[in-house]
Amino acid sequence: MAENKKVLVIGGGMSGLTAAVEVAEAGLEAHIVEKNPYLGGRVAQLNKYFWKLCPPNCGLEIQFKRIRNNALVKWYTLAEVQEIKGDEGNFDVTIKIQPRYVNDKCVGCDACAQACPSYRNNDFNFGMNQSKAAYLPHEQAFPFQYVIDATACQKDCQKPCLDACKYSAIDFAMKPETISLNVGAVILAAGWNPYDPAKLDILGSGGFKNVVTNMMLERMASADGPTAGKIIRPSDGKPVKNVAFVQCAGSRDENHLPYCSYICCLASLKHALYIREQYPDAKVTIYYIDIRTPGLYEPRFYWKVKEDPNVAFIKGKVAGVSEEPGGDVVVDVEDIYAGGKVKTKFDMVVLATGMEASSLAQGIGVPYSSDGLVDDTTLRKGFYAVGTMKSPADVARSVQDATAAAIKSIQSVKRR
Ligand SMILES: Cc1cc2nc3c(=O)[nH]c(=O)nc-3n(C[C@H](O)[C@H](O)[C@H](O)COP(=O)(O)OP(=O)(O)OC[C@H]3O[C@@H](n4cnc5c(N)ncnc54)[C@H](O)[C@@H]3O)c2cc1C
Ligand code: SF4
Ligand code: SF4
């Protein structure tokens, strides 16, 4: 059989981008299939990286530059793989691409969004604000190209945005497309989703305005987020003075995610620093079972936060959370060291929700274990799972794993 020099990469987050550039820089074609209208994955939603607190966009920009400069990397956004048939060295792939309604002539001038009369919930900001139906997914989006969410358009309202666009970039005649590819190997880099807090028993009937998730806090702290970087109480926009973090929200629990989500202790330490930086008088309380800060994160990060007298660590299992009419949130906790149940009031509570592996279409044929993760050893030959699909991971580990998967996929292609 002739060597098939193409590798399919499912997911265009930090892992998928890394795998694709490594494959392409070794001389093989890499095809990234990404379901969002932009590349970069969850990292694009983060404000800063632990532990150095540098902006994640630097790392993403480097990867975008590498893929821009390498003609062997092809990418498809708003795309999902529906089916993969065949064997190592010869996989037939079916990809469905949803219409963007904006073509490559888009220069990102924002005129369509300004003219657009319709709104949609902004999923990039976890619904904390709205965007126009004609929108740029986020300020650093790659590709820097607008999208129209036709499901949010008012009936027969195409005229305002069509008239506003001076570049003939809007095309409502676009239709969903199905394309086929033949590849030699497949890299699964579809990443993770935040565990759904609505499933957590501690919230009771749930839906409290001033109980947010760790990823929502990342968006609030981001300058291009729903509150322009200000961490404020969602119900009334007040500055926060007293914030609690509930660790292991959904993780290490056989009724939810049976594993430790690895990054949520580190994320809460980072978030404590975000709050303390914005509000020098604010108090932060972290309720934990164990604080897990693997390897060098402990001396470089944990001890730094621990030194702050305004950050309290309380070992205790949170039994319940409730919201009072004025918006304050009461946390009910079993304090392990002090003993007994304690109820404490806060301005806002952050749930350190865990990471759940993304699911893939059944037609791809990827078995998931009972814990919801992908077990490499059960995959068919020529398939390689990366990073957070296999186990919760930080970016450094995801990138290392993606490089290893790139090498394995090259070997797969060469073997045939
Ligand atoms: C609150 C919080 C804070 C964090 N902060 C840090 C930090 O400071 N430093 C750090 O190192 N790590 C941090 N992390 C972890 C970091 O987000 C992950 O390590 C990183 O996102 C892993 O990248 P990835 O590409 O594997 O997955 P993702 O970022 O999830 O990317 C996967 C991509 O695949 C796409 N996709 C999903 N399903 C499909 C499909 N079916 N078809 C096509 N595409 C699909 C997604 O849209 C996405 O673009 C944090 C995590 C949390 C929860
Ligand atoms: S679609 Fe047209 S109006 Fe909208 S941002 Fe692009 S070029 Fe501007
Ligand atoms: S990293 Fe921390 S908060 Fe997250 S599951 Fe593990 S112990 Fe719990």
Q: State which residues form the domain around 149.
A: 111-164
As a whole number, the mean pLDDT across the chain is: 96
Q: Is 48 in the pocket of ligand 3 (CB under 6 A)?
A: no
Per-residue pLDDT tens for 55-77?
Answer: 999 999 999 999 999 999 999 99
Residues 265 and 224 in one domain: yes
pLDDT at 207 (0 to 100): 84
Query: Which residue out of 101, 146, 148 has the highest number of ligand 2 atoms within 8 Å of its CB and is therefore the one to mutate?
Result: 146
What's the gap in Å between 192 CA and the centre of ligand 1? Answer: 6
Count H helices and E strands in the chain, helices first: 9, 21
For residues 400 and 283, membership in a common domain is answered with: no
Q: How confident is the model at residue 214 (pLDDT cuts 50, 70, 90)?
A: very high
Indicate which CATH number applies to the domain containing 272: 3.50.50.60
The answer for residues whose C-beta is within 8 angstroms of residue 340's C-beta and 6 or more apart is 334
Report which bound ligand comes closest to the CA of 256. 3
pLDDT category of residue 98 using cuts at 50, 70 and 90 = very high
What would the pLDDT profile of 177-213 be if each residue is shown by its tens digit? 999 999 999 999 999 999 999 999 888 767 899 999 9
Both 180 and 201 in a single domain?
no
Residues composing the chain: 416
Say if residue 329 is in the same domain as residue 368.
no
In a domain, 235, yes or no: yes
Q: How many domains does the chain have?
A: 3
The radius of gyration of the chain from alpha carbons, rounded to an integer in Å, stands at 23
Distant-in-sequence, close-in-space partners of 122: CB < 8 Å, separation ≥ 6? 128, 129, 130, 131, 135, 226
Which of residues 304, 336, 354 is at a domain's end? 354
Ligand nearest to the CA of residue 102, numbered in listed order? 2
Is 277 a member of any domain?
yes
Residue 1 lies in a domain: no
**Do both 68 and 116 map to the same domain?**
no
Residues 13, 67, single domain; the answer is yes
The minimum-distance atom of ligand 1 relative to the CA of 50 is 8
User: Cα angle at 236 between 231 and 237, to 5 degrees?
Assistant: 30
Query: Are residues 381 and 311 located together in one domain of the fold?
Result: no
Rounded to the nearest whole angstrom, what is the distance from the C-alpha of residue 99 to the centroid of ligand 2? 15
Ligand 1 test: best mutation among 22, 48, 368, 394, most atoms within 8 Å of CB? 394
58 and 115: one domain?
A: no
DSSP annotation string for 123-136 = GGGTTSSEEESEE-
The atom of ligand 3 lying closest to the CA of 251 is: 5
Nearest bound ligand to the CA of residue 143: 2
* pLDDT of residue 354 exceeding 90: yes
Q: Sign of torsion, CA 305 307 313 315?
A: positive
Rounded distance between C-alpha atoms, residue 371 and residue 254, angstroms: 9
Same structural domain, 363 and 338: no
Is the confidence at residue 8, as pLDDT, over 70?
Answer: yes
410 and 331 fall within a common domain: no
